[in-house]
Structure 1
């Protein structure tokens, strides 16, 4: 699915939302993206998902999706976005296996975003305040080497996660796709859409090479419950992706069988954030017990 005609029709128009000015569409210049998908225990994943969001299951496995984008130019400047999500469906009941991959719209297929650090406060303000994405500022990098592409995510001087994939020798596959993000914010489940265009190098199963390291920061603890497999199911590198955010979002009230004991995070977390494009220092936490060589061997 490509960019909707409505988004194309408003190109060049202007918006002002939460003091952030946008020239539409909300889009990036060609920017590098790395992605890796790992198998996880879907029953463990369910504990991290709200009601009506279910782990997408294939062959008794769920899927952890790590996507890092080094935005080289956007409506709000440059920044890195490090997405950690669980592949999911949306509905009153869990979807049957496999079918959500074939009929994505029918089952609300997408990913539920568990963590989403970014480099700048303006990205936090816009992404969380407008689209409900769980953004927060973190220490991030994005490194493209001869043989690998990697990104490290630190917070409070501690490692949260490190992802490294084998760099493909070429990126021949054209992409024109849409993805769905589900996020929790303000006591609501938020659904947003992003459209990607570019050429990718994709590796599957035994040809996919990647390492995911979980650190000792508390934000890594929920991920450690997922029983993440050592071997990825897929890796992808897109050196020049163009991402376009839809300005259409959907939301539902989050609900549970008992009254919530504490108020969920709300607009107070973003309303006073400045339009600051300053990056924090690069991550420096050691990646203990790991030796990184040539993943292409």
Structure 2
């Protein structure tokens, strides 16, 4: 099954119960559309968003901001939208050379460092953060597909946090069969988890990659404006992904030059969450008119 490790194949159709969340194994999602937009950003300023041991993935002179939104329609924990804002990265003692980590991903431990990860439902927060260490929290989200566009809006407290929109490719023909790595910070630890993907994608590159990424007036992600986000260099639409989360998780202590004065977010943020699959109200904050630039 699309390159899954043998241990995952072996426990197919068995069950797990973790933190009160029941799973039929493997932990998989199917029939779920997704969009992705990749933007060049200032590589030096990107370092400010990354912990020790995580380095910006450089293509030429720029790092990469990766916005991925998945409309999960069939999963063990119900339906939800997941809106990932991340920086392409490598993991190691030293920064990797330019370009090569995009080709030799295993060698350079290439992945993405997730800056923010709102999701629709509380049970997704409980599982994603408590088990895999992903920085999930509940937000007002949507995922819209029209004849020519694919878009998603992310609101908090009635205000716009971000909005992403891409031109819908004419067709989805490119086979995507890969493993993708997420790096996240939780409990004072650097957490790494993997997902195995199997899908077909529509891809637009460089001048054909038409996308908008709007940072709204909510204070949560205002710091992203310091990254000098450029015009999209790649957009991808996947009409229906198949994804399996790996059961193998890695973690390392986050280290600092001095002892942090504030304790990092820990299990207290998830321990009392419920298994509710209910969504918050849809996002309603107005979207600024298209000025032709990311804002």
CA distance in 1 between partners of 2:140 and 2:80 (Å): 11
Question: What aligned pairs does 1:118-197 form with structure 2 within 5 A after superposition?
Answer: 118-197=119-198
- TM-score normalised by the chain length of structure 2: 0.97
Match of 2:77 in 1: 76
Partner-residue secondary structure (3-state), 1:8: helix
Shift of 1:13: 1.0
* CA deviation profile, 1:113-148 (whole Å, cap 9, x unmatched): 000000000000000000000000000000000000
CA distance in 2 between partners of 1:113 and 1:99 (Å): 21
CA distance in 1 between partners of 2:130 and 2:146 (Å): 35
Shift of 1:198: 1.0
CA distance in 1 between partners of 2:156 and 2:15 (Å): 35
CA distance in 1 between partners of 2:206 and 2:60 (Å): 14
* CA deviation profile, 1:157-180 (whole Å, cap 9, x unmatched): 110000000001110111111100
Match of 1:276 in 2: 276
CA distance in 1 between partners of 2:145 and 2:100 (Å): 35
Shift of 1:225: 1.3
Shift of 1:105: 1.1
Partner-residue secondary structure (3-state), 1:47: helix
Residue 236 in structure 1 maps to residue 236 in structure 2: yes
- TM-score normalised by the chain length of structure 1: 0.96
Residue 288 in structure 1 maps to residue 281 in structure 2: no
Structure 1 unaligned regions, length at least 5? 293-297
* CA deviation profile, 1:274-297 (whole Å, cap 9, x unmatched): 1000001100001124379xxxxx
Match of 1:207 in 2: 208
Residue 62 in structure 1 maps to residue 86 in structure 2: no
Match of 2:54 in 1: 53
Match of 1:259 in 2: 259
Partner-residue secondary structure (3-state), 2:275: coil
Count of matched residue pairs: 291
